[in-house]
Structure 1
Amino acid sequence: MRVVDLFAGCGGLSLGFEQQGFNVVAAFELWVAAIKCYEANFTHPIFQVDLSDTQAAVQLIKEYRPDIIIGGPPCQDFSHAGKRVEAKRALLTDSYAEIISMIKPICFVMENVARAQKSNAYASARAIFKKAGYGLTEIVLDASLCGTPQKRKRFFCFGMLGKEDGFALNSFTSRQAKKAMTLRDYFGESLGFEFYYRHPRNYNRRAVFSIDEPAPTMRGVNRPVPKGYPGHPNDAAPITPDMHVLTIEERGLIQTFPKTFQWVGNKTDVEQMIGNAVPVNLAKYVAQTVEIALKG
């Protein structure tokens, strides 16, 4: 099955689908830093393309004869990190849907933050998918129940031509783990620390976590412990002078990228790529569901 990845970022979705045995033949992205990182880790081509120009994009994508299109249109406009306004970037959700409707792959996967499901932008994209003849399975997955040691909730829309809505719901839900995966479950004793600091959005939230729980969502910002950190009653341990702060490499591993993955770019860009990425194991879990549906 030939797969193309739109809004590919550094390649979390691509890698998960490749690990499941799908043939990813091309990727498309606008952000130069992410393109350079993607190129360092994959053998197929990635193109710098503004996918909001859907007509031009379709001509390029068509050349790769995709059976499946995957992708996560930029989600900042829906995320907690943004101002919760649907601005210009939310229109890229429509662009994604229009590309699907023009190319008509057998199936597609669209990924976004959990809150995107209730957005006007998704409602518009959904109408385009339905008009094009796709049955849709829509679900919010918690990565910690899908092979990833991180409490990260993401919305997936899996569409397939000629199917009923909800066609793959059982495949998604029945295979989930019964308990959330912790860092210790995933890494064993290899990390070398028991507690770590993760900078909160504000001091109403905890910042110290234990490896005996799933990590919180990896965000695009990673800061050292500030001098004035007041502590939080729900912190897993008191702050100490040698409190561990996750490195770029550790954050990539928590996103289930392999140790061999090369993080190319400056620190700010790489942190942003990691924060934006679909965890590889979550992508693989979705790819397994796609495979089950295709075999069915």
Structure 2
Amino acid sequence: MRIVDLFSGAGGLTFGFYYSLINGEFVRNENCEIVFANEFDEAAAQAFCINFPDVNMIHKNIKDFKEEEIQELIGEEQIDLIIGGPPCQSFSTIGKRKYDDKAQLYNEYYRMLSMIEPRMFLFENVKGMLSMRDEDGNLVINDIENKFRHINEELGYNIQYRVLNAVNFGVPQYRERVFIIGIRNDLDIEWEFPTGLDGVPTISLEEAISDLPIVEPGGELNDYLNNNPVNNYQRLMRGNNANLTCHFSALYGEKIQTIVNHVIPGEGKDYINGLVDQGVLEEKYRLTSGYSNTYGRLLPNQPCTTITKNLSTPSGLRCIHYNQNRGLTPREGARIQSFPDWFQFNGNRYQIKTQIGNAVPPLLAMELANQIERLIG
């Protein structure tokens, strides 16, 4: 398959097409050629280049592409597939939802379809996109369907979309995302979304990250400290990796650290305020802002809640380690997303966490890639 990769980020969706999973190892999938990729964020684009050095990464605003440049990049051969999803923050049900320039970047996806005319496309975004409305009150998903079904008088795509939960595909995380599949209307292809991995047990948070060494608040480790993997998921994530990266924790102020020390697995803000009501904690520790799941400690025996760019911020969401008094490290977040330990991220700490939190989990991407490759590979 010849693939064009848009809004690639650090490459979570890319990973699913670039690699196959064979005998418990990630192996390069030679059937997939990523002709070029595009990412606007410099740190994410550099991370992509580190991990996929043979892919032509075009670091620029997608709006600046001209048709002549696109045709030069793709050459004479047919492009089989476009993958990627525009930035999702505008559609998220957490925080302020607004139909801003980022929310309208699906129009650039539409423009790329009109120039490249691939056989299929795979578009990913947060579930909140399904309920997002434009400035006229119309559902964005309806606008996407209408535009992508009728690119021009001759070209259009048959559209299907479904919300998939990463936990059903071997990812130790409850993470719902909407995936839109488009099949060019001149092709006689029937698409069925994968439903999940049959007979594969759900992986808990503890099973995913328990082999990673203990990190104190404010600390960082670059070594496994002779901790050995204890299950197949950990062995897959380790591969032949020798040195840890991105396994660091923030240093908290006294109030936050006290709250982190006292919250128990499965509890959060309301539990802490209950301790204040009981006199266990002083009034100064009462939490007056945030959602009920903020300052929450994760449960070890269940998959993790959704990883976001706030994966290390106790005040942002439920992200406190199940038995260590700190938020998740970026490497733990990457493990929970199903990035192997040898996958590199780039930039400052905020940029690294954003690259992890925004990504499509590679194992989920791999199942979609397998399904698409069976159809058009």
Q: TM-score, normalised by structure 2?
A: 0.66
Amino acid of the structure 2 residue aligned with 1:118: S
Q: Tell me how large the CA RMSD over aligned residues is.
A: 3.3
Q: Distance in 2 between matches of 1:5 and 1:110?
A: 10
Residue 278 in structure 1 maps to residue 360 in structure 2? yes
Task: Tell me: CA distance 1:83–1:198, structure 2 relative to 1, closer, same or farther (3 Å).
Answer: farther
Residue 110 in structure 1 maps to residue 89 in structure 2? no
Q: Distance in 2 between matches of 1:64 and 1:181?
A: 44
Retained in 2: the 8 A contact 1:199–1:223? no
Task: Tell me: CA distance 1:141–1:83, structure 2 relative to 1, closer, same or farther (3 Å).
Answer: same
Residue equivalent to 1:251? 333
Deviation at 1:166, TM superposition (A): 10
Q: Distance in 2 between matches of 1:180 and 1:116?
A: 27
Q: Per-residue CA shift, 1:85-135, capped at 9, x if unaligned?
A: 211111111110221133110111000001213333332222122113212
Q: Distance in 1 between matches of 2:359 and 2:321?
A: 26
Amino acid of the structure 2 residue aligned with 1:62: I
Amino acid of the structure 2 residue aligned with 1:219: T
Q: Per-residue CA shift, 1:13-40, capped at 9, x if unaligned?
A: 1111111322223210111111111111
2:349 paired residue among 246, 267, 271: 267
Residue equivalent to 2:59? 48
Deviation at 1:61, TM superposition (A): 4.8
Deviation at 1:255, TM superposition (A): 1.0
Retained in 2: the 8 A contact 1:134–1:159? yes
Matches within 5 A, 1:1-296: 1-20=1-20, 21=29, 22-43=32-53, 44-53=55-64, 55-56=66-67, 58-59=70-71, 61-63=73-75, 65=77, 66-119=79-132, 120-131=139-150, 132-162=155-185, 167-169=190-192, 171-173=193-195, 175=197, 180-186=202-208, 189-191=210-212, 202-205=290-293, 207-223=296-312, 242-294=324-376
Q: Which runs of 5+ in 2 are unaligned?
A: 21-28, 133-138, 215-263, 270-288
Residue equivalent to 2:284? none
Deviation at 1:159, TM superposition (A): 1.1
Q: Distance in 2 between matches of 1:243 and 1:126?
A: 46
Structure with the higher strand share, 1 or 2: 1
Instruction: Look up the SS of the partner of 1:83 in the other structure.
Output: coil
Instruction: Look up the SS of the partner of 1:27 in the other structure.
Output: strand
Q: Distance in 2 between matches of 1:126 and 1:58?
A: 24
Retained in 1: the 8 A contact 2:268–2:293? no
Deviation at 1:178, TM superposition (A): 7.7
Q: Per-residue CA shift, 1:256-276, capped at 9, x if unaligned?
A: 111111122110110111111
Amino acid of the structure 1 residue aligned with 2:58: F
Q: TM-score, normalised by structure 1?
A: 0.83
Task: Tell me: CA distance 1:107–1:203, structure 2 relative to 1, closer, same or farther (3 Å).
Answer: closer
Instruction: Look up the SS of the partner of 1:245 in the other structure.
Output: coil
Task: Tell me: CA distance 1:88–1:202, structure 2 relative to 1, closer, same or farther (3 Å).
Answer: same
Task: Tell me: CA distance 1:175–1:5, structure 2 relative to 1, closer, same or farther (3 Å).
Answer: same
Deviation at 1:167, TM superposition (A): 3.6
Task: Give identity over the alignment, percent.
Answer: 31
Q: Distance in 2 between matches of 1:156 and 1:179?
A: 23
